[in-house]
Amino acid sequence: MTKIHHIGLVVDDLHKYIDIFDTLGGDVMYIEDAKDFGAKCVFIKFENVLIELVQGKVPGNHLNKFVEKYGTGLHHIGVLDNKMEGELRNGALPGMKVDFNMPSDENRILIEKVKFSK
At 11 the pLDDT is 97
- Of 26 and 87, more confident: 26
Question: What global pTM score does this model have?
Answer: 0.89
3-class state of residue 8 by DSSP: strand
Distances (CA, A) of 108 to 18, 53, 75, 102, 111: 27, 19, 10, 8, 9
Contact 18, 25 (CB under 8 A): no
At 103 the pLDDT is 72
Q: CA 56, CA 106: separation in Å to the nearest integer?
A: 26
Q: CA 59, CA 82: separation in Å to the nearest integer?
A: 33
Mean pLDDT of 49-71: 93
Classify each residue of 31-62 as buried b or exposed e, where b means 16 or more C-beta atoms within 10 Å of its C-beta.
ebebeebbbbbbbbeeeeebbbbbbbbeeeee
Mean pLDDT of 4-29: 96
- Across the chain, what does the average pLDDT equal? 90
Sequence letter at residue 47: E
What count of other Cβ atoms lies within 10 Å of the Cβ of residue 14?
Answer: 17
Greatest mean pLDDT among 22-26, 31-35, 59-63, 111-115: 22-26
Q: Under CATH, domain 4-116 is a member of which superfamily?
A: 2,3-Dihydroxybiphenyl 1,2-Dioxygenase, domain 1 (3.10.180.10)
Grade residue 85 by pLDDT with cuts at 50, 70 and 90.
confident
- Percentage of the chain lying above the pLDDT 70 cut: 95
Mean pLDDT of 76-95: 89
